[in-house]
Amino acid sequence: MKGANDLEKLEGYELELVAQNCRENVIRMVKASGHGHIGGAFSAMDIVTALYFRIMNIDPKQPKKDDRDRFVLSAGHKCMVQYAVLAERGFVNKEILDTYGKLHSTIPGHPDMYKLAGIEANTGALGHGLAIGTGMALGLKSNRTNSKVYVVLGDGELAEGSNWEAAAAASHHKVDNLVAIVDYNGLQISGKVEDVMNMTPIADHFKAFGWSVKDIDGNNMKEIVETLEQIPLEAGKPTLIVAHTIKCKGLSLGENVASYHYWSPTLEELQKTEDEMKRNKDRLVKKIEEEKS
């Protein structure tokens, strides 16, 4: 196993193992509070893990350093993904995960930048993150830094018109240090995104707004890393990655089930889930050992 100083070299199964540990962190939060937005947290987990453990210029010891890359979780209800990864990356002690859902917790049901190191914006109401990210990217460009801004959007969230105001502004002002990633798991509370409000084809919409666009498998670590290492895809254009994901990826009873958008597990389900997390982890550890030998 590589140590903390070798994080930038993590790849393949090692990154997948980190994502698996983070999924365990999410289950720990669900266990503490009795419920949580697990579907989106698990679908976006591989992307967010890759960003924090491989792609972004960040330092848990200096969470506010000027030249850091910024991460904005526009779909703030997926916040367990960010809390899980921040804890795994060393921004905060893992014990705070047990406070999820509790009074005065520093990890509330939607993120609060004044409560937890590493949170850059107070999101939760949908359709805010892309405009905030566009402003960050404009400001960083004007300061002539190389920092990038990564915004994770939900697919159902794209029906909010404010996203398209930001999409136009980012393109008009040529902010090529802005990267938006749509967690396209295809499901929202009421059912299929295409049935609730069809915002497809997502890629074509953003292309028409002047963005550089790529479709990827958002649960394939190799593909995620290869794509994110090529940013910007085109100079002078903001980048949009349509990450095709599976809602609740990594929890077999919830995969591709819309009702797992928000999950209140029974004790039996929780026990089964913990067992599944352990099996998945053991499988990855074994694969890493096999690769070594």
Interaction pattern, residues 128-167, with another protein; x per rule: CB under 8 A: x-xxxxxxxxxxx-xx-----x-----------xx--xx-
DSSP 8-state code for residue 121: S
Q: Taking the complex as a whole, how short is the minimal distance between the CB of residue 240 and another protein, in angstroms?
A: 17
Tokens of 273: 């889930």
Task: Give yes or no for residue 109 binding another protein (CB under 8 A).
Answer: no
Check: CB of residue 254 under 8 Å from CB of residue 26: no
Q: Exactly one of 117, 169, 285, 288 binds another protein (CB under 8 A); which one? A: 169
Task: Give yes or no for residue 120 binding another protein (CB under 8 A).
Answer: yes
Which amino acid, residue 270? L
Q: Taking the complex as a whole, how short is the minimal distance between the CB of residue 160 and another protein, in angstroms?
A: 9
- How many CB atoms are closer than 10 A to CB 279? 10
d(CA 244, CA 44): 10
Which residues are bridge partners to 179 per DSSP?
150, 239
Task: Give the residue ranges of DSSP H helices in the chain.
Answer: 12-33, 38-43, 45-50, 79-89, 129-142, 162-172, 193-196, 202-208, 221-228, 267-292
Q: Taking the complex as a whole, how short is the minimal distance between the CB of residue 114 and another protein, in angstroms?
A: 7
Task: Give yes or no for residue 113 binding another protein (CB under 8 A).
Answer: yes
Q: Taking the complex as a whole, how short is the minimal distance between the CB of residue 171 and another protein, in angstroms?
A: 12
Q: Exactly one of 124, 186, 238, 254 binds another protein (CB under 8 A); which one? A: 124
95 Cβ partners below 8 Å, 6+ apart?
none
211-250: contacts with another protein (CB under 8 A): none
Q: Taking the complex as a whole, how short is the minimal distance between the CB of residue 46 and another protein, in angstroms?
A: 26
Contacts with another protein by CB under 8 A lie at 70, 113-114, 120-122, 124-125, 128, 130-140, 142-143, 149, 161-162, 165-166, 168-169, 172-173
